Chain A
Amino acid sequence: MRAHQSSVLLIPVSTWAAPAHLPEGYLLKPSIHQCHQRFNWVPDIVVGDLAYIHQDIKREIRRRWHVAILTKMKPDMNIIEPFDSWNRISCPQGQPLQWLGYDADDQQHWFGPRAGRQLCGECWEASQCPREFSYPASLHETLVGLLPLSTLAANRILNQVRSWIEPAQAYEKNQLGLKAMFLNSLHLCWTASLLADAVVLLRALALIAEPEPSSDPLGALRPRQLILDFKIQP
């Protein structure tokens, strides 16, 4: 993943305008469904906030469309075995484990001892231990799911990528003036939202068609050696 590089371009794919009292979590499944229905395409990973934490919805999306829903843990949520914390998993004897991979056929995640300092050499079960542990994706939809929260990828996505939505929302609300619009009906709100999205999409098309920006942004400011051209005729 490459953060804050020229190849990252956010585009709106599914928009809903709803009364404010409608819980946001209800719109996650319809959004994925629309993507599949209209574009025959679904994203591999969806990052949401705590409003999208419903376990049943996550399970259904994982089984039906194989989309990983990443959200942080609620503070009051119970941590289950074999997790020590939301981002740390260990074997029954306490050796921290790292994610090895996902077996899509069996829907199992595989974990093994972390490289570096290991407790395995001193463990009384070492001779019988396979040093690979599998846990089903259905064990906990938030902690495990399709992409466990203990993985480096999940951590980076939650900590870095999630915040990228803020400038996208701010652009529509402030620069395109969505916040200043006179919205006195939900239908008008729908219309304004979709037109603002259309502007963002047109901008994205224009940005992609642009030539690549120079890889040396300070090149024009850097002093250059003058060429002494005396034009001496032989």
Chain B
Amino acid sequence: MVQSTLPPTGTVALLERLSEYIPDEFINRTLAFKRHAGQRRSFVPAQLWRTRLLAFLTAAHSFNAVVRLLPEQIGWRRFVQLRQRQCTPDVRMLHEFRLHAGVRGLRAINDHLVGHLLKLIPASSQTVAIIDATDLPAATADKKKTGASGRRSEPRWEHERARRATPNFMSASKNILCVFGCGRISPPSC
């Protein structure tokens, strides 16, 4: 593994280091909002994407917490490229951005970053990928079926079957294919 000399995760120093590698132009071009008459967007897609990223790069670990804390954190605002303290994205804007970008849009950004990294693997080297899945707990306590469903006139076995189907929704799995190059990856030269 690479010995990390980067600042620890959660620090403003790391935000500043990572900020220069975010492809703002690509994000603004790929996830551009459609223009509607009389509607003015306060933030560009790259700013909203950076705001969402803060949930992982800080100790907030929640989009709502990021929205609440953003006006108070100057380092975070610098990362999101916000000039005014009063003008920060709200929860509705982030939700709309998530729906607008979708999985395809977010994947396109990741592919753009992966493309840069794959170019650094020497052509003659062998690459080994590792595929694995991990469970993520789902917050579905409010959706858990506690009582039997269905009409009273239905036979008994219908109720039992409805209860057994519930655990399928209790967790999701994240399947990931990671790759590394066995050759020496050298930094790009100017």
Contacts and interface: CB of A to CB of B under 8 A. Distances in A.
Interface in A159-174: 161-162, 164-165, 167-169, 173
A44 B127 contact: yes
A195 B136 CA distance: 15
Q: Which of A9, A27, A161 has the most CB of B within 10 A?
A: A9
A207 B4 CA distance: 7
A205 B179 contact: no
Given A9-B2, A11-B179, A15-B176, A177 B61 contact: yes
B37 interface: no
Contacts of A1: 128, 182
A47 B126 CA distance: 13
Given A20-B170, A20-B172, A41-B118, A191 B128 contact: no
A8 B1 contact: yes
A8 to B, nearest CB: 5
Contact of B172 (A7, A183, A195): A183
Interface string B27-63: 0000000000000000000000000110111010110
A233 interface: no
B140 A184 contact: yes
A151 B55 CA distance: 45
Interface string B96-118: 00100001001101110111111
Given A10-B130, A176-B56, A15 B175 contact: yes
Interface in A35-49: 35, 38-39, 41, 43-49
B3 interface: yes
A72 to B, nearest CB: 14
Contact of B183 (A7, A190, A199): A7
A21 interface: yes
A114 interface: no
A195 B52 contact: yes
A38 B113 CA distance: 12
A13 B131 CA distance: 10
A51 B133 contact: yes
Contacts of B22: 202
Contact of A183 (B6, B113, B133, B136): B136
Main secondary structure of the interface of B (DSSP, over half): mixed
Contacts of B129: 13, 43, 45-47
Contacts of A4: 1
A51 B170 CA distance: 21
A110 B17 CA distance: 50
Given A9-B2, A11-B117, A39-B114, A179 B137 contact: yes
Given A189-B138, A206-B17, A20 B185 contact: no
A176 B137 CA distance: 15
A137 interface: no
Given A7-B185, A8-B1, A190-B103, A14 B177 contact: yes
B168 to A, nearest CB: 5
Contacts of B172: 17-20, 183, 186, 189
12 contacts: A10-B179, A16-B175, A24-B131, A27-B133, A45-B128, A46-B130, A178-B136, A189-B138, A191-B106, A193-B136, A206-B6, A213-B5
Interface of B: 1-6, 9-10, 17-18, 21-22, 52-53, 55-57, 59, 61-62, 98, 103, 106-107, 109-111, 113-118, 120, 126-140, 142-143, 168-185, 187-188
